[in-house]
Amino acid sequence: MRTQVAIVGAGPAGLLLSQLLHLRGVDSVVLESRDRAYVERRQRAGMLEQGTVDVLRSSGVGERLDREGLTHHGLELRFGGAGHRIPLTELTGGRTVTIYAQTEIVKDLIAARLAAGGDVRFGAEALAVDTGAPSVTFRQDGETRTLDCDVIAGCDGFHGVGRAAVPGLRTYERDYPYAWLGVLAEVAPSTDELVYAHSERGFALHSLRSPRVSRLYLQVDPGDAIEAWPDERIWSELRARFATSDGWELRDGPIVEKSITPMRSFVAEPMRHDRLFLAGDAAHIVPPTGAKGLNLAISDVIVLAEALVARYDEGSDKLLDAYSATCLKRVWRAQQFASWMTTLLHRDPAGDSFEHRRQLAYLDYLVASKAAATTLAENYVGAAPTL
């Protein structure tokens, strides 16, 4: 078997890369260890930067996104029993963010690749990558095969095999003493815009999926088992953390999915070795508070697709050689923002009251100062993807 670009992983990074290359006449094969239903159902991100929306549109997968995506012009910071709106669009020269679930992006991209005759293989687990040959050994239907290629794209997420093939990798890591319990509930959202709530009981986030489905998150202990959180306890804790002095009410409804995710910051450098290029969660993880993970994965593959096209069309390796440094600049900016926003909003489990007062002082400043609010807004909406 042979292709130009072997892509490991059918998450948003691998699928969009395959689509971008296809549109520019470059062949790829996508190898995905899970089955299609699993990758289409895996509940994750939902907040898209404008640059992400723009690239999905220009890649021919924006139709449903335009119909069903929810455009947002602001967000709410809630603390001390009151809500404060940060007018994102006003503070960023007209930029917006869009709520459209990662599951839907993945479905749209898979449908587009398959409709165009693309080779996306589910149940195909990459076992090893040879960065020099280059080739990927994978197992599908009980058979072990080798995919030869010009270039390998390691889009196989944090637990994939790509990163392990980079010798001399330098990693930077930070763990946080909290985790997120995420729930998907069949109930109309109680808010039009996202609510990031800081409270003495811990952080909570009210996000949305559609006019009838809400997505909510709760700061929990990283050691907590999901069994410790029956639905009733989740709703009562959410109610307590979102409570305002003006009687705002949280609507509840059936919880259809819930899971606990640890929080970490992680960067692996460089994002390239030989003919292997890492993209998305394979190379970096951000805590979800700043909503940057999916957007970074998309931005990596935009850079990678342009660089590969320059190589095939013009014979130039200049952009490929700059790939790692180009991506890492944006990655570190996002790391800084995500860890800042995380530590600003979460409760210190040790109950450090100095830390709590420091957070409240900064939150007061954020909503009182246009300069401070603009810093938050600019980072939240994200810069346009750059090459």
Q: Which does 289 bind (CB under 5 to 8 A by kind): ligand PHB, ligand RFL, none?
A: ligand PHB
Tell me if 33 sits within 8 A of 56, measured CB to CB.
no
Site residues (vs ligand PHB, CB under 6 A): 45-47, 194, 207, 215, 288-289, 291
Q: From the candidates 22, 72, 198, 258, which is the catalytic residue?
A: 72
Dist CA 97 CA 380 (whole Å): 9
The residue among 134 and 182 lying less far from ligand RFL, judged by its C-beta, is 182
The residue among 118 and 189 lying less far from ligand PHB, judged by its C-beta, is 189
Dist CA 234 CA 230 (whole Å): 7
> Is 370 noted as a catalytic residue in this protein?
no
Q: Which does 88 bind (CB under 5 to 8 A by kind): ligand PHB, ligand RFL, none?
A: none
Of 307, 285, 305, 306, nearest to 296 by C-alpha is 285
CB of residue 313 vs ligand RFL: minimum separation in angstroms? 25
The residue among 95 and 272 lying less far from ligand PHB, judged by its C-beta, is 95
Q: Which does 202 bind (CB under 5 to 8 A by kind): ligand PHB, ligand RFL, none?
A: none
The residue among 108 and 281 lying less far from ligand RFL, judged by its C-beta, is 281
Q: Which does 287 bind (CB under 5 to 8 A by kind): ligand RFL, ligand PHB, none?
A: none
CB of residue 45 vs ligand PHB: minimum separation in angstroms? 5
Site residues (vs ligand RFL, CB under 6 A): 8-14, 31-34, 39, 44-47, 102, 125-126, 155-157, 160-161, 180, 182, 261, 280-281, 288, 291-295, 297
The residue among 355 and 378 lying less far from ligand RFL, judged by its C-beta, is 378
User: Hey, how many other C-beta atoms are within 10 angstroms of the C-beta on 247?
Assistant: 6
197 forms beta bridges with 78, 204
> Is 176 noted as a catalytic residue in this protein?
no
What's at 361, amino acid-wise? A
Residues 6+ apart with CB under 8 A from 192: none
> Is 292 noted as a catalytic residue in this protein?
yes
Cα dihedral angle (243, 248, 254, 256), rounded to 10 degrees?
Answer: -70
Q: From the candidates 100, 196, 217, 323, which is the catalytic residue?
A: 196
Q: Which two tokens stand for residue 93?
A: 């020269």
The sheet carrying 170-185 orders its strands as 82-86, 75-79, 195-197, 204-210, 213-220, 170-185, 255-269, 284-285
Q: From the candidates 22, 107, 206, 292, which is the catalytic residue?
A: 292
Tell me if 343 sits within 8 A of 177, measured CB to CB.
no
Catalytic residues: 72, 196, 288, 292, 380
